[in-house]
Structure 1
Amino acid sequence: MKIKNLIEGLEIEKIHGDLEKDIKGIGYNSRKIDLDYLFVAIEGFESDGHKYIQEAIERGAIALVVEKDIKLDREDITIIRVEDGRDSLARISSNFYGKPSQNMKVIGVTGTNGKTSITYLVKSILDRVNKNTGVIGTMGSVIDGEVLSTENTTPESLWIQRYLYTMLKEGTKHCVMEVSSHSLDLKRVEYCNFDIGVFTNLSRDHLDYHNTVENYFNAKLKLFYMTNKCNIINIDDKYGRRIIEETKNLDISTITYGIEKKSTIYATDIEYHLKGVDFKLNTPKGSIDISFNIPGEFSVYNALAAASVAYCYGIDLKGIKEGLEAVEGIRGRFEIVPTNEDFSVIIDFAHTPDGLEKVLSTIKEFAEGRIVAVFGAGGNRDRTKRPIMGESVGKYADFLIVTSDNPRNEEPMRIIDDVVEGVKKVNNNYIKVVDRKEAIEYAIKNAKPKDIILLAGKGHETYTIIGNEVLPFDERQIVLDFLKEIKN
């Protein structure tokens, strides 16, 4: 594609060089630049892309998009100066891949908790009615059945546009995407044509980045000004009600879902049990009984959100029921490990105070023995939420093992001590075990009949981050291997 076509719609401050050159690829990481590429230099939090311009040129870049005035020895390099590199990357990526979202139905899901589960529930329903659906999110991108790993919940704009283009090429015309607050704030999803926006809930998280809950909310709010067809909102959440009020004058429809407050789509006759939850799904077009395979009130909310998307697309109750009930579980989301023991082990991604409370309160509903919680807090993340997490777990668990969870470049015991400050306010039955593998093994070795052991925080992850190293760490396998070891 010619540079002049790539930069269509950009707010340009200055141009130097030939715009007729053909560009074969785009990059924002100099190490991934190849011959005849355009390099977008972005000033980030940890590094400045402008420092790597020379490397990009040496690797084959023939054009640059920059935020600063630069001087080069070569006159044959086209230089385009812009005010906002991130916005420009999103626009150029969309242009390069032919604006794929304009020819698809893209559903964006945002909120503190539930995003991953809802994306897979929506996919299940749409797939059941022959609407082949792709996914972009925490557990990777699913394109025509193939799973591609991604670094972030919502990838950088270049990757989003590439994935959407690939989906379209493979005949996938629906995509359900987790839309993080970071992605909205950092313009990763700019120039995505969202058909539907879904809001799950909002509780304290990511304040290491957003600083205040209000900033966090305002980042999430952006999605609901980007949609074309429908906004789907959890009306039981106070921030959901704020979104409804903030967007009431938009020329799109709003569908609400909930359990407590009057809503468009709602659940009644709810019965919780260890293997799932049964409820009646009520819509303006009728009601139907659902036997859902993932326990907990939070699962009802996730199912209602997915059902609301299906309702927005005119899918009948039978199709919604079949799609929801076809999901036997979602990796790392209230995942019961098959131990064949007289105690249970559940793995869940819960890593916020609200998420932990939701999972533990669900377990409390059917627990016959002790609840043993193995959990920690991530390093180089919002330190203020750590004691709140500790207090949340301490309210529900009978015994707590406070351990590591991706300590990154922080001292693990310091993180643990932060968490314990909250634990001590409500519960004295805890121990500290820095090594997470040892913590898991301790919980299993000391389990009593009917105990439920919750391994919280890592969920689907099969790695741990210590310092700058990403090391293999699969909790399911650790549990199964240790049980085999103690039996032998």
Structure 2
Amino acid sequence: MLASKLIESLRFKQVIPADYNDFVVSTVTQDTREVIENSIFIAIAGSQIDGHTFVPDALKKGAAMIIAQEKVVSPDIPVVYVENTNRAMAILSNKFYGAPSEAMRMIGVTGTNGKTTVTHIIEKIFREHGEKTGLIGTMYRRIGDKIYPTKNTTPDVITLQRTLSKMVEQGVSSVAMEVSSIALVQGRVWGVDFDIAVFTNLTRDHLDYHKTMENYAHAKSLLFSQLGNEYKHQGDNKVAILNIDDPMGRKLEEDTAAPVLTYGIKDNAMIKASNVVIHSQGTDFDLEVFGEKQHLKVKMVGLFNVYNILAAYAAAYAAGLPSEEIIATLTSFKGVKGRLQLISSSIGISAIVDYSHTPDGLLNALETINDFAQGKVFCVIGCGGDRDHGKRPKMAQIALKYSDYPIFTSDNPRSEEPQAIIDDMLAGLSIQEQSEVQVLTDRHAAIEYAIKRAQPNDIILIAGKGHEDYQIIKGKKNHFDDVEEAEKALKGRGAI
């Protein structure tokens, strides 16, 4: 694509000089490491790094045009000045990669908890329906069967458009995508044409970034308000799928012009679960869809997973898939790595690894385990460094109240001292309560300690990291996998 044609998409701009030599654009990037001959380099004014300072590096590597919002020196190539380079980056990358989201069914899932599980269920439903699928989220990006690593739950806008373009090239027809609140605020999904938007729930998280729950809630609402106002032909309308049991779900009904499909357990939802029975091997419930009832036996454990299943069912239902096909997938789905992942042993001790890194997530996991636990419940828990300090005492209180043996340890301390994080957790407990807690800053030692002391029928919840296979300490990323650690400890007892 010619540079002149590409920048036509930027309506309000100043090009200096206006009579530059046109060229075929090789790539569009904000990262000087990706700059090659005939690149367009976009200078992003970030909160920590200002991309305008990297313009000289981009020029040396062959950039043929600069997009900027502040004055830069570029004697030999044109500079396109715009008001906001973040917005320009979204517009340019969408056009450069051919607006790929318009060629696929895009299903975006947002909420504090459940995004990963819901997107995985949705992806499996469409895959078993016979479609080639794409998945974008916390754990990875996946095109068909091929997995690509990811840094963020929702990639930056250029990586996202590049990924979506690759999906189109490889014949993907439906994409399930996690959409984080931070990505929504930062405009990482600007230009993505979502067809179905799903809301799971809203509880405390990311307040280190959003500062207040009001800001956090507003960020989530953007996915629904951005679905647009138009009403197309019957069956082609965009759809908002909302958890009506969550107060935020009710609020989102006011924030979207799209047709709304509700799900829930407590209230009068369009898609509803009733008569829920949770046991160690799964969950049984009645699925009611506009008054029609069918009994389901699923392999996933817990009330919150019932909500996840309802959300995924609603997304597939909104897309027009047959109910019997959707249910067939739901009843066979075994769960996602690191989400209430069960590690059994030959001596009756069970370890469960879960990505419960928020107060609500931890509460859900422990309440679920207590519903079927026959023995004592251990809880190995830490909190991430350089993140919301306010949730640390809340996590501690939940661990103490809902487990028999709370063990406080490190999560990803990042740049903080592990003991300082644990001290913040302990601050939420009385002196007497603190005496009931075992503190082991080394996560390996904490997991080993719990498994060595557990008896038959006891359950050890290892919470906070889930699918992650690393631990960040003093800025260094070290290999660490909770599942591997639990298996090592159980082998040490001759249990597996």
Give TM-score scaled by structure 2 length: 0.94
Aligned-partner Cα distance in 1 for 2:188–2:90: 6
Contact (CA 8 Å) 1:142, 1:148: kept in 2 or not? yes
Contact (CA 8 Å) 1:373, 1:453: kept in 2 or not? yes
Q: Which residue of 2 aligns with 1:462?
A: 469
Q: Which residue of 1 aligns with 2:391?
A: 385
Contact (CA 8 Å) 2:68, 2:82: kept in 1 or not? yes
Change (3 A) 1:426 1:173: farther
Q: How much has 1:11 moved relative to structure 2?
A: 4.5
Identical positions, percent: 41
Query: Of residues 292, 299, 302 in structure 1, which corresponds to 2:308?
Result: 302
Amino acid across the alignment from 1:238? P
Contact (CA 8 Å) 2:117, 2:335: kept in 1 or not? no
Q: Which residue of 1 aligns with 2:198?
A: 198
Partner SS state of residue 427, structure 2:
helix
Aligned-partner Cα distance in 2 for 1:135–1:43: 30
Amino acid across the alignment from 1:317? S
Amino acid across the alignment from 2:281? K
Contact (CA 8 Å) 1:90, 1:157: kept in 2 or not? yes
Change (3 A) 1:4 1:419: same
Deviates further, 59-68 or 95-104: 59-68
Change (3 A) 1:214 1:426: farther
Q: Which residue of 1 aligns with 2:425?
A: 419
Q: How much has 1:341 moved relative to structure 2?
A: 3.0
Q: Deviations over 1:26-85 (max 9, x none)?
A: 21111222222111111112211112111122122111111211123x32x221111212
Q: Which residue of 2 aligns with 1:398?
A: 404
Q: Which residue of 1 aligns with 2:328?
A: 322
Q: Deviations over 1:230-254 (max 9, x none)?
A: 000000001111111333xx1x210
Q: Which residue of 1 aligns with 2:63?
A: 61
Aligned-partner Cα distance in 2 for 1:95–1:285: 45
Q: Which residue of 2 aligns with 1:441?
A: 448
Q: Deviations over 1:177-197 (max 9, x none)?
A: 100001000000001000010
5+ long unaligned stretches in structure 1: none
Q: How much has 1:285 moved relative to structure 2?
A: 7.4
Deviates further, 78-87 or 193-202: 78-87
Q: Which residue of 1 aligns with 2:347?
A: 341
Aligned-partner Cα distance in 1 for 2:493–2:249: 48
Q: Which residue of 2 aligns with 1:155?
A: 155
Partner SS state of residue 428, structure 2:
helix
Amino acid across the alignment from 2:459? I
Amino acid across the alignment from 1:225? S
Contact (CA 8 Å) 2:2, 2:24: kept in 1 or not? yes
Q: Deviations over 1:410-430 (max 9, x none)?
A: 111111111122244894421
Change (3 A) 1:19 1:321: farther
Q: Which residue of 1 aligns with 2:230?
A: none
Amino acid across the alignment from 2:306? V
Contact (CA 8 Å) 2:55, 2:72: kept in 1 or not? no
5+ long unaligned stretches in structure 2: 228-236
Q: How much has 1:314 moved relative to structure 2?
A: 1.8
Q: Which residue of 1 aligns with 2:247?
A: 238
In the alignment of these two chains, the number of paired residues is 483
Amino acid across the alignment from 1:432? V
Aligned-partner Cα distance in 2 for 1:163–1:285: 40
Q: How much has 1:119 moved relative to structure 2?
A: 0.1
Q: Which residue of 2 aligns with 1:370?
A: 376
Amino acid across the alignment from 2:142? V
Amino acid across the alignment from 1:37? S
Aligned-partner Cα distance in 2 for 1:185–1:436: 34
Aligned-partner Cα distance in 2 for 1:483–1:351: 24
Amino acid across the alignment from 1:400? P
Amino acid across the alignment from 1:382? D
Amino acid across the alignment from 2:80? I
Aligned-partner Cα distance in 2 for 1:446–1:19: 73
Aligned-partner Cα distance in 2 for 1:299–1:96: 39
Aligned-partner Cα distance in 2 for 1:326–1:20: 56
Q: Which residue of 1 aligns with 2:233?
A: none
Partner SS state of residue 43, structure 1:
coil
Aligned-partner Cα distance in 1 for 2:430–2:176: 41
Matched, 1:115 2:115: yes
Q: Deviating runs (4+, > 6 A) in structure 1?
A: none
Q: Deviations over 1:246-272 (max 9, x none)?
A: 33xx1x210000000001100112111
Change (3 A) 1:203 1:147: same
Query: Of residues 39, 42, 45 in structure 1, which corresponds to 2:41?
Result: 39
Contact (CA 8 Å) 1:4, 1:19: kept in 2 or not? no
Q: Which residue of 1 aligns with 2:189?
A: 189
Contact (CA 8 Å) 1:287, 1:317: kept in 2 or not? no
Q: How much has 1:370 moved relative to structure 2?
A: 1.2
Q: Deviations over 1:3-43 (max 9, x none)?
A: 22222332534212427221111211112222221111111
Aligned-partner Cα distance in 1 for 2:271–2:46: 42
Aligned-partner Cα distance in 2 for 1:282–1:154: 32
Deviates further, 232-241 or 314-323: 314-323
Q: How much has 1:466 moved relative to structure 2?
A: 0.9
Aligned-partner Cα distance in 2 for 1:96–1:406: 37
Matched, 1:144 2:144: yes
Partner SS state of residue 5, structure 1:
helix
Q: Which residue of 2 aligns with 1:480?
A: 487
Contact (CA 8 Å) 2:225, 2:255: kept in 1 or not? no
Partner SS state of residue 471, structure 2:
strand
